[in-house]
């Protein structure tokens, strides 16, 4: 995976924070000789867990999930990490939902200057002493709880007992009194446009709120074509829908968000969608809008020119039309056919839950709505 705080490294750090990865293993570079030793250590760790009868569910507690969410926030991680965290919580049967993540993101500062928000990489973290050094810093800050059990058979606090402090002469991890940002780069909003929630990644936004007019698309190429034709203006909110988990398997649409980074639009437009984006995406981006358009979600009812506003710190998003108008549109709305009608992807479409449940199978989790 790439060395920045994109999807791969976000989830690696989250797994170490939640207790499912051995210390250091999320930050050791793939080409480092230490990786061979780590692989051998896994076998010893598994034997130790079996001998002590420590099961995954003993590790995956609600507090462990809170640790993982807070760590994702502290490193300025990818929105995909939130989706994975929700899926893992549902599979583990832990009472941990998007509303809980919203509360954690609101109160967790950004401590790390990882690219794409900064200039540093996981290799820089490795040279500082690895993910345990970062976790020790977050433990001292009160961001994570050290009492959680891990795959070493010890608690986080026990694992970190002999780990040194963050070196003073470095630019990756901020001192406790000099935060990179007082609130997380990711925030969760709810409202009439996203009753189930929408996850925003807004590292480049100067303000915590945005208001603009909708420009609606059903495919990423349409966004690119509109930008190239000069049809997207500052103040637009790009609405890309019918690409959610049921509609088409929730593809990643970096091509669309990248098109919006041209100088005349960068920082001047917003993007919302029921699908996913790459961890390297830049701008005011809201994804995983739930419920998706393919199941009748309000994002499918938005029309060109509708006023859309969101406030990250209030956790609110709305399309500013009356409830009566929204209901009239719902009565006239025809669901678009899903993309895949045969094979595995058709099975996935028929059985998957919505993004606020982590897109896990409804067949396994019948309580998902």
Average pLDDT over residues 195-205: 89
Lowest mean pLDDT among 69-73, 254-258, 275-279, 362-366: 362-366
* Per-residue pLDDT reduced to its tens digit, 104-133: 999 999 999 998 778 899 999 999 999 999
> CA 344, CA 142: separation in Å to the nearest integer?
44
Are both 136 and 265 inside the same structural domain?
no
Number of domains comprising the chain: 2
Examine residue 179 and state whether it is found in any structural domain, yes or no: no
Average pLDDT over residues 339-348: 91
Are both 232 and 293 inside the same structural domain?
yes
Whether the pLDDT of residue 365 is over 90: the answer is no
Which residues lie closer than 8 Å to 63 by C-beta, 6 or more apart? 145, 147, 148
* Per-residue pLDDT reduced to its tens digit, 218-277: 999 999 999 999 999 999 999 999 999 999 999 999 999 999 999 999 989 999 999 999
Are both 196 and 341 inside the same structural domain?
yes
Are both 58 and 196 inside the same structural domain?
no
Average pLDDT over residues 99-104: 98
Helix (H) or strand (E) holding 238: strand 236-240
Are both 122 and 223 inside the same structural domain?
no
Question: Which among 117, 115, 286, 107 is positioned nearest to 183, based on CA atoms?
Answer: 107
Both structure tokens of 103:
């509360």
Radius of gyration over every alpha carbon of the chain, rounded to an integer in angstroms: 21
Place of tokens 């049967």: 93
Backbone angles phi, psi at 319, to 5 degrees: -100, 120
Are both 212 and 256 inside the same structural domain?
yes
Both structure tokens of 368:
């998902």
Both structure tokens of 14:
């989250």
Examine residue 38 and state whether it is found in any structural domain, yes or no: yes
> CA 143, CA 111: separation in Å to the nearest integer?
11
Domain boundary among the residues 125, 160, 195 is at 160
pTM score, two decimals?
A: 0.94
Are both 152 and 25 inside the same structural domain?
yes
Are both 125 and 62 inside the same structural domain?
yes
- Are 110 and 117 in contact by the 8 Å Cβ rule? The answer is yes
Average pLDDT over residues 182-186: 90
By annotation, the residues acting in catalysis are 278
Are both 79 and 14 inside the same structural domain?
yes
**CATH assignment of the domain containing 225:** 3.50.30.80
- pLDDT class for 319, splitting at 50, 70, 90? very high
**Residue 58 to residues 154, 161, 205, 309, 353: CA-CA distances in angstroms?**
12, 21, 39, 42, 26
Examine residue 178 and state whether it is found in any structural domain, yes or no: no
What domain range is 121 assigned to?
7-160
Whether the pLDDT of residue 368 is over 60: the answer is no
Whether the pLDDT of residue 349 is over 90: the answer is yes
Relative to beta strand 307-311, strand 316-319 is antiparallel
- pLDDT class for 282, splitting at 50, 70, 90? confident
Average pLDDT over residues 24-47: 94
Place of tokens 């603009």: 212
Average pLDDT over residues 43-62: 97
pLDDT, residue 203, reads 72
Are both 142 and 15 inside the same structural domain?
yes
Are both 147 and 82 inside the same structural domain?
yes
Examine residue 147 and state whether it is found in any structural domain, yes or no: yes
Examine residue 113 and state whether it is found in any structural domain, yes or no: yes
- Are 47 and 83 in contact by the 8 Å Cβ rule? The answer is no
Examine residue 356 and state whether it is found in any structural domain, yes or no: no
Place of tokens 């009748």: 296
Average pLDDT over residues 195-207: 87
């Amino acid at each position: 995976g790439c060395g920045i705080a994109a999807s791969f490294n976000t989830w690696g750090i989250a797994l170490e924070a939640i207790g499912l990865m051995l210390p250091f293993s999320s930050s050791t570079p793939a080409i480092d000789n230490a990786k061979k030793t780590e692989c051998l250590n896994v076998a010893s760790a598994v034997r130790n867990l079996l001998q002590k009868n420590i099961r995954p569910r003993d590790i995956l507690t609600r507090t462990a999930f809170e640790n993982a969410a807070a760590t994702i926030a502290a490193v300025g991680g990818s929105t995909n990490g939130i989706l994975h965290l929700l899926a893992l919580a549902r599979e583990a049967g832990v009472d941990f939902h998007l509303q809980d993540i919203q509360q954690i993101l609101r109160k967790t500062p950004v401590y790390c200057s990882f690219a794409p928000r900064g200039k540093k990489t996981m290799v820089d973290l490795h040279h500082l002493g690895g993910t345990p050094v970062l976790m020790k810093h977050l433990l001292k800050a009160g961001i994570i709880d050290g009492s959680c059990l891990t795959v070493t058979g010890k608690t986080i606090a026990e694992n970190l007992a002999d780990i040194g402090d963050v070196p003073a002469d470095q630019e990756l991890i901020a001192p406790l009194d000099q935060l990179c940002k007082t609130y997380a780069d990711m925030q969760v909003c709810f409202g009439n446009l996203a009753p189930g929630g929408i996850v925003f990644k807004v590292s480049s936004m100067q303000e915590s709120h945005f208001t603009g007019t909708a420009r609606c698309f059903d495919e990423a190429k349409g966004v690119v074509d509109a930008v190239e034709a000069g049809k997207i203006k500052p103040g637009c909110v790009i609405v890309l829908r019918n690409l959610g988990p049921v509609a088409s398997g929730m593809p990643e649409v970096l091509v669309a968000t990248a098109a919006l980074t041209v100088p005349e639009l960068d920082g001047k437009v917003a993007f919302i969608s029921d699908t996913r984006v790459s961890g390297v995406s830049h701008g005011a981006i809201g994804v995983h809008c739930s419920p998706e358009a393919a199941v009748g979600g309000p994002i499918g009812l938005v029309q060109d020119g509708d006023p859309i506003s969101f406030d990250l710190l209030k956790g609110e998003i709305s399309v500013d039309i009356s409830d009566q108008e929204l209901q009239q549109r719902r009565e006239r709305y025809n669901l678009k056919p899903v993309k895949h009608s045969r094979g595995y992807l058709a099975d996935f479409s028929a059985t998957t839950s919505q993004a606020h449940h982590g897109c896990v199978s409804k067949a396994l989790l019948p309580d998902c709505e």
